[in-house]
Structure 1
Amino acid sequence: MKPLRFGNIGAVYVGLIIAVYFSVTQPDLFPRLTTLQLILNQNSVAALVAFSLIVPMCTRVFDLSIGYVMGMTSVTAAYLVVERQLSFTVTIVLCLLLALAAGLLNVVLVVMLGIDSFIATLASGAFFQAIILLISGNVPVTDQRLNQDFGKISNTEIIFGLTPPVFVAIVIGLLIWWLLERTVTGRRLYATGFNEEAARLVGVQTRRLRVGGLLVSALVAGLAGILVTAQVGAGSPEIGPGYLLTSFAAVFLGATQFRGGRFNVQGAAVAVLVIAVGSAGLAISGAPVWGSSMFLGIILLSSLALRRYEEVRSRTRNA
């Protein structure tokens, strides 16, 4: 069956092979319900960050600032709760507005000024990093209040041992999936990424779509920053950029799944799980500290190669 062939859902088979391998080599630790719960709970934020990239990347806009937006909202949330004693509701609203402002800056640079998205978002990321250091003083912002009250946002078990960030990631993922797969706007997003000039000539508002993509990216990354602060009980100046490589690897690997070279939510979700299962297995088996980075690098290089292969095959088929 075509939907089940390796070229369509290869990451699923790779993930199953990895899971079986570690289940055999680590039978006392890996094949446990608690391991699955831990993987889902700990990687829900990574899934959110990956989802934040999908909409702009559908229009061929690469947002390298999302890790810094995430870090900025993380330390800001901690600062507002610890230093300003603001309520959690007010803190969340202010942090999301801050993320929206970051997205607007990217809009100005990329859409209005026409700067290449790689350069523009790299520059804006440096600006956001400066704000992170200004707020935090380059030290984690923490307090008992973050561990107790604010931590309930992220660490309360809802069902089957799963915490709120898992369900937030599911909801955000379903919304983006619906946008891309079930709406006219989704088809226009894909058309803009495939051939912006052709899309513009048939009446697609490509600039508006890129504006929307950058705003969605910043808002979802900002939400991820709030949740990670609640998870760890601190706003760390180093926490956001660490998610950047994982999220890009997941999105590129996910693009080779299900949709034949198109960026998509279901593929990104599967890719996040594959990376998470591999990383968890390496940690449980006592692999060297560089093992996880090596595994992630292999995943990213493989996904880029597969993505290129899918693009070439699609062009050949349509020629």
Structure 2
Amino acid sequence: MKSILNGAAVPGLMALGLVLPLSARLFDLSIGGAMGLSNLLVAWLLVNAGWGVIPAVVVTLLASVAMGLFNGVIVVGARIDSFIGTLATGALFATIGSILSTETITGAQMNGAFGQIATVGIGGLTLPFFLALLVTLVLWFVQRYTVTGRQIYAVGFNDRGSNLIGIRTRRLSFVSLVVTGLIMGVAGVLLASSVNSGSPGIGDPYLLSAYAAAFLGSTQFGGRFNAWGTLLAVILLQTGTNGLFLVGAPPWTQSMFSGLVLLLALGGSSLEQAIKVRSWIRAKGRSRVNAASS
């Protein structure tokens, strides 16, 4: 169980980073490129540039915020569809990573204080897991107990209607993409610390599992995108992939497992909505019959 929870930290942060954009009905397909670039950048600063741990981590996080800002300018400012816009920006982030290095960056600087970031912990649970838990708590509080969280849900349900009643839909969409960029930066730094290296394209394999977890999590705790459901879904996926590894299944089965979970989550969500609509129609029909008979 400890192994599963610790292994779910980085995938969990990737999936949690999608909660706010998806709640606002935005698709951020650049998360793989953004996380990969953050992972490579912090390694490049430590090994190639000779920076210290704190400056390298801070600059990497600032760069991840800049990536989120760039996504916001493209999607919100230029009004480009989020699906297409972030797909393009993700390719740009991957290109920048290739410019930094086409090979895995590793060295003694990746060990020591930087390597301890992903290994220090309490009771066998490491710091990355507690950071994922902290992000879950913050997102849960924002979505459930703040006006901003409710407004982001409103934007996702009805963008035009929310704008007409005075909600600043564009600002909320912009902020959600920036928050996603920051979370991807944290995930990239933690991954570099855990594997003691930075690799080009390392973030791409996490894209499918992150969306699978976010959509699977939306079927729990109220039927909408939420932090706790997403974290539990990540743990479920991590349990499945670990099980496939332990039984000696081929590597491609893990991607197939994530894809099937995503399809089942989408199908379950559509079925749930259809059942709700049908129940509402039947209730309205019964109320009209009762009104006519009375």
- Normalized against structure 1, the TM-score is what? 0.85
CA distance in structure 2 between the aligned counterparts of 1:317 and 1:206, rounded to whole angstroms: 31
Residue 103 of structure 2 contacts residue 199 of structure 2 at CA under 8 Å; is this kept in 1?
A: yes
Counterpart in the other structure of 2:122: 159
Matched, 1:266 2:228: yes
Counterpart in the other structure of 1:27: none
Alignment of 1:101-116 (within 5 A): 101-116=66-81
1:308 deviates by 1.9
CA distance in structure 2 between the aligned counterparts of 1:265 and 1:272, rounded to whole angstroms: 11
Change in Cα spacing, 1:314 to 1:111, as seen in structure 2 (3 Å) is farther
Find the partner of 2:267 among 295, 300, 305: 305
1:318 deviates by 5.7
SS in 1 for 2:212: helix
Structure label with greater radius of gyration? 2
1:315 deviates by 4.5
Find the partner of 1:149 among 105, 113, 121: 113
SS in 1 for 2:172: helix
CA distance in structure 1 between the aligned counterparts of 2:259 and 2:81, rounded to whole angstroms: 25
Residue 147 of structure 1 contacts residue 232 of structure 1 at CA under 8 Å; is this kept in 2?
A: no
Tell me the amino acid that sits aligned with residue 95 of structure 2.
A
Deviation sequence 1:165-215 (CA, Å, 0-9, x none): 011101111101111011111111101000111111111110111011000
CA distance in structure 1 between the aligned counterparts of 2:201 and 2:37, rounded to whole angstroms: 10
Deviation sequence 1:247-288 (CA, Å, 0-9, x none): 00000000011112x100111011101111111111112223
Find the partner of 2:258 among 261, 277, 296: 296
Matched, 1:79 2:44: yes
Find the partner of 1:245 among 182, 199, 208: 208
Matched, 1:196 2:148: no
Alignment of 1:1-319 (within 5 A): 36-136=1-101, 138-156=102-120, 158-260=121-223, 262-316=224-278
CA-based RMSD of the aligned residues comes to 1.3
SS in 2 for 1:142: coil
CA distance in structure 1 between the aligned counterparts of 2:164 and 2:280, rounded to whole angstroms: 20
CA distance in structure 2 between the aligned counterparts of 1:50 and 1:289, rounded to whole angstroms: 21
CA distance in structure 2 between the aligned counterparts of 1:96 and 1:104, rounded to whole angstroms: 12
Change in Cα spacing, 1:163 to 1:58, as seen in structure 2 (3 Å) is same
When structure 1 is superposed on structure 2, of 144-153 and 186-195 the one drifting more is: 144-153
Tell me the amino acid that sits aligned with residue 293 of structure 1.
S
CA distance in structure 2 between the aligned counterparts of 1:201 and 1:318, rounded to whole angstroms: 26
| Identity score, percent | 42
Figure out how many residues of one structure are paired with residues of the other and give that number. Answer: 281
CA distance in structure 1 between the aligned counterparts of 2:69 and 2:226, rounded to whole angstroms: 24
Change in Cα spacing, 1:268 to 1:62, as seen in structure 2 (3 Å) is same
Residue 76 of structure 1 contacts residue 135 of structure 1 at CA under 8 Å; is this kept in 2?
A: yes
Residue 94 of structure 2 contacts residue 201 of structure 2 at CA under 8 Å; is this kept in 1?
A: no
CA distance in structure 2 between the aligned counterparts of 1:223 and 1:92, rounded to whole angstroms: 9
- Normalized against structure 2, the TM-score is what? 0.92
SS in 2 for 1:295: helix
Residue 69 of structure 1 contacts residue 128 of structure 1 at CA under 8 Å; is this kept in 2?
A: yes
Unaligned runs of 5+ in 1: 1-35
Residue 5 of structure 2 contacts residue 125 of structure 2 at CA under 8 Å; is this kept in 1?
A: yes
1:289 deviates by 2.8
SS in 1 for 2:111: helix
When structure 1 is superposed on structure 2, of 212-221 and 306-315 the one drifting more is: 306-315
